[in-house]
Amino acid sequence: MKKLLYIISVLLATTAFLPSCTNLESEMYDVINPNIFPVNEADANALVTAAAYAPFRSNWYSGLYSAGSGGIHVTAELTTDIGYCQWNDSYYPDLLEVNFTPSSQCPTSPYKDYIGYIGKMTLTLDRISGIDMKEETKKRLEAEILCGRGWLAYLLYDFYGPIQIPTLEQLSNPLGEEIIPRVSREEMVAFIENDLNAAIAVLPASYKSSDSNYGRFTKGLAYTVLMKLYMQEKNWTKAVECGRELMKPEYGYELVRNYKDIFTLENEGNAETIWAAICSSSVNKQLWVAHVLSSQYPTKNESIQKWGGYRVLWDFYETFDKNDKRLEVLVGEFVGTDGKLYNKENPGTVLQTGAMPIKYGEDPAATGEESQIDWIIYRYADVITLLSEAIVRNGNAVTQEAVDLLNMVRSRAGISTYNFSDIKGVDDFLDKVLLERGHELWFEGARRTDLVRYGRYIEYARRYKGSVTAQDYMNLMPLPQSVINESRGTVIQNPGY
């Protein structure tokens, strides 16, 4: 009997946790019997937790934002002029060499692992629609699903281009013979826009860290994703609108005074964070520091695991001003616990390929690889630098406002700010924005998208990674070959693959 291609399972079975400070934790749901589940508000919350929030975790080696090889920020960054991994591990060469094929594990894993959640969220919308509960609560839960679905669709669109989007009717007939093709680019963009705008109409602007709902989706998150979509589509006017919206006082976003304080346990829930995958000692745990630190690097907590993997390439590290405060957590020189000085000239095996992108602070309670420090997904510095770029692209002219926005992160970094007279024109300013975003957002998953938007992704792979396999069509990653084979020609592979 044939089954509907795309659906992993019609059963909503998951062990996902809601990334929130609330007490909601999902349980394992086996076969869903609509006569007994879902029937009340608690059931609806559980379904939304399992469907809408599950993909966006940084939970050990699971979740889109895992620090391991399956995390999309790692997958993206290691293909750029910024990121590298020092391990001789079979997962990473295809990324580091920009040698993508439909059989490559890392480039195809986000599609394989998460596309099924689009259907799960659609089914969940339907399943909670008939539950008797407060209308305000139902509307919020529906908006959270729409936000999650639009966000996930954007992330997959960014990596792969248009994807398959099943309708509720198709999902309700999982044993049918229909094979779902990929939608058009116009349909894809409209789908993401519609979901995010519907969520924006209902969700609160933001949650304070003291609020029990902190960690749930917000209007601020939805606008941030929408802004990124418009930047990708080069719809500069709408990108500017989103950026200006996020600067309004009702959202409460502002830059943290010291860069290194953004990513510490003491400053979780800071005003710069738009959305973070909430981690704790008992539920989600992220593994960033373990993937970065080498055993020779001194830490207050000697129980922290140190594998010495991820690095920021020396070529990029050397583009920083030597006085840049962001270098406090991007370490290119240190005295090790063995008494040796490690730097580019004396790298040993520790700094052989580049500087150590520590970024996150120590978890004093860590006893191994795990950390309870929230993993920050989007923050205000990302928005204001994108807005600076969008303003200039939209008007094809450098403005004082755009320069001032860029200077906000430079001032925080303790380096000289730009005068209007320092800018030689639009292209010069856009180059400055690209570099500044790299200095600000390294290993936060923005670099690949930025380089693609600037038309430099493949150029930089060849120039800075020495790639002999990078091809122009690799701006998009390939769909898994298994999907193409099973569709019998209905699902079309990305060009070039």
Residue 91 pLDDT grade (very low, low, confident, very high; cuts 50, 70, 90) = confident
Q: Tell me which H or E stretch contains 216.
A: none
Residue 12 pLDDT grade (very low, low, confident, very high; cuts 50, 70, 90) = very low
Phi/psi at 179 (nearest 5 deg)?
-105, 125
HSE of 403 in the Cβ direction (CA atoms, 13 Å)? 17
Q: Say whether both 440 and 317 belong to one domain.
A: no
Q: Say whether both 296 and 208 belong to one domain.
A: no
| pLDDT above 60 (res 469) | yes
Backbone CA torsion sign across 459, 457, 445, 308 = negative
Domains contained in the chain, number: 3
Asked if residue 295 is part of any domain, the answer here is: yes
pLDDT digits (tens, 9 = 90+) for 175-186: 888 899 999 999
* Residues β-bridged to residue 59: 62
Q: Say whether both 396 and 358 belong to one domain.
A: no
Mean pLDDT of 109-132: 97
| pLDDT above 70 (res 1) | no
Nearest Cα residue to 8 out of 490, 477, 478, 482: 482
Range of the structural domain that residue 456 is part of: 379-470
Domain termination site, one of 317, 342, 370: 370
pLDDT digits (tens, 9 = 90+) for 17-46: 333 333 333 343 445 676 678 999 999 999
Q: Say whether both 307 and 422 belong to one domain.
A: no
DSSP for residue 28:
-
Q: Say whether both 302 and 447 belong to one domain.
A: no
Asked if residue 36 is part of any domain, the answer here is: no
Own/partner long-range contacts of 240-245 (Cβ < 8 Å, ≥24 apart): 240/387, 240/390, 240/391, 240/394, 243/383, 243/384, 243/386, 243/387, 243/390, 244/387
Q: Say whether both 202 and 351 belong to one domain.
A: no
Q: What is the pLDDT of residue 145?
A: 98
Q: Say whether both 195 and 60 belong to one domain.
A: yes
Residue 2 pLDDT grade (very low, low, confident, very high; cuts 50, 70, 90) = very low
Distances (CA, A) of 133 to 128, 138, 199: 10, 7, 19
Q: Say whether both 75 and 199 belong to one domain.
A: yes
Q: Say whether both 212 and 68 belong to one domain.
A: yes
d(CA 235, CA 453): 12
| pLDDT above 70 (res 458) | yes
Model pTM score: 0.94
Q: Say whether both 350 and 460 belong to one domain.
A: no
Residue 69 pLDDT grade (very low, low, confident, very high; cuts 50, 70, 90) = confident
Instruction: Specify the higher pLDDT residue, 363 or 32.
Output: 363
Contact 48, 25 (CB under 8 A): no
Mean pLDDT of 149-172: 97
Mean pLDDT of 208-218: 97
Nearest Cα residue to 188 out of 143, 154, 152: 154
Domain termination site, one of 370, 402, 426: 370
Asked if residue 127 is part of any domain, the answer here is: yes
Q: Which residues neighbour 334 within 8 Å (Cβ) at sequence distance 6 or greater? A: 297, 298, 341, 342, 343, 356
Q: What is the pLDDT of residue 182?
A: 98
Mean pLDDT of 213-237: 98
Q: Which two tokens stand for residue 266?
A: 């003491």
Asked if residue 285 is part of any domain, the answer here is: no
Counted residue by residue, the chain has a size of: 497
Contact 305, 250 (CB under 8 A): no
pLDDT digits (tens, 9 = 90+) for 310-345: 999 999 999 999 999 999 999 999 999 999 999 999
Asked if residue 20 is part of any domain, the answer here is: no
Q: Which of 30-34, 215-219, 467-471 bottoms out in mean pLDDT, i.e. has the lowest?
A: 30-34
Asked if residue 229 is part of any domain, the answer here is: no
Q: Say whether both 178 and 199 belong to one domain.
A: yes
Mean pLDDT of 257-261: 98
Asked if residue 189 is part of any domain, the answer here is: yes
- Percentage of residues of the chain with pLDDT beyond 90: 90
| pLDDT above 60 (res 13) | no
Domain termination site, one of 370, 393, 424: 370
d(CA 318, CA 442): 14
How confident is the prediction for the chain on average, in pLDDT?
A: 93
Give the CATH number, domain containing residue 446: 1.25.40.900
d(CA 99, CA 104): 8
Scored b (16 or more CB within 10 A) or e, 158-194 reads bbbbbbbbbeeebbeebeeeebbbbbeeeebbebbbe
Specify the 3-state DSSP secondary structure of 159: helix
DSSP for residue 313:
E
Asked if residue 135 is part of any domain, the answer here is: yes
| pLDDT above 70 (res 218) | yes
Q: What is the pLDDT of residue 34?
A: 67
